[in-house]
Amino acid sequence: MAQGQIRKALSGYYYVYDGAQLIQCRGRGVFRNRGESPLVGDIVEYTLETEGSDGTIQKIMDRQNELVRPPIANIDQGILVFSVKEPNFNTILLDRFLVVLESFHVHPIICLTKMDLLEEHEREELQGYIKDYESMGYTVLQTYKGEEELIERLQPILKGKTSVLAGQSGVGKSTLLNTLIPDLNLKTGIISQSLGRGKHTTRHVELLEVCDGLLADTPGFSSFDFDDIEKEELGACFPEMVQVAENCKFRGCLHLKEPKCAVKVAVEAGEIREYRYKHYEQFMQEIMDRKPRY
């Protein structure tokens, strides 16, 4: 059987790249019976009945990782696109995205758009947040409309990696892709002033060759869920907590009401930002309130 990678999924078809061409394929019915589904990014084995006919995906190879929203597999890094204005920068939404990527062992990169729209006092406030996230170990890119050096700055980040581009609707993902791939001509979403968010402009998931790497644009969405994160795992998704958690008195400390918790001490000392800890508490409550799965 031939082998390739699913580069696009659309209307029930999977487009498999075999190193030379895209083959339009269907998935075997057995996948549906098993509750499995091929994903963009999957390495698969497929067969062709005749030359030029549609193919059939026979086997999905083991995955490095997979995301549900967006539905994609074998991702090296996630570029989280957040506008600083229209819609405004939102730390709790950013932290939701970061936590989910961390839980799937996908390396996050923060890309801030529309920096040119900020007033001076807004810029100063934002720089404080940027320093916070950089101190946690995250790469933060600040981008401007019409920035000529953007491709040069993204080249070393994208090269040799499979990256997912994700974020709220209206934050500039399509504009960013149009900059990277001028021939793509993606329709740029118009911001809905009444809702404060953009209209969905992307309808399917596709891996595109960009800067000697692969980049997935994904349908616009507003949040990630914590359905696959257990309460004992949440702390590991906050890098600054990981650095001090080994000093907690109790093994398996959830950093809530336990005595001699090193994380809470670090929060009180200002070593861990209070807003990050509050987000941790909120996410933990959400996980604990989740209905049990049967």
> Which residue ranges make up the annotated binding site for Zn(2+)?
248, 253, 255, 261
Q: What angle do CA 183, 197, 92 make, to 5 degrees?
A: 110
Task: With residue 97 as reference, give the H or E element that holds it.
Answer: helix 91-103
Residue 115: phi and psi, rounded to 5, are: -60, -25
d(CA 144, CA 148): 9
Q: How many helices (H) and strands (E) does the chain have?
A: 8, 15
> Which residue ranges make up the annotated binding site for GTP?
113-116, 167-175
Which pair of structure tokens corresponds to residue 141?
Answer: 């890119």
Q: How many Cα neighbours within 13 Å face the side chain of 153?
A: 14
> Beta partners for 214?
162, 209
Nearest of 153, 92, 137, 164 to residue 243 by alpha carbon: 137
Nearest of 227, 204, 226, 206 to residue 215 by alpha carbon: 206
> Which residue ranges make up the annotated binding site?
113-116, 167-175, 248, 253, 255, 261
d(CA 242, CA 263): 9
Nearest of 15, 10, 23, 12 to residue 50 by alpha carbon: 23
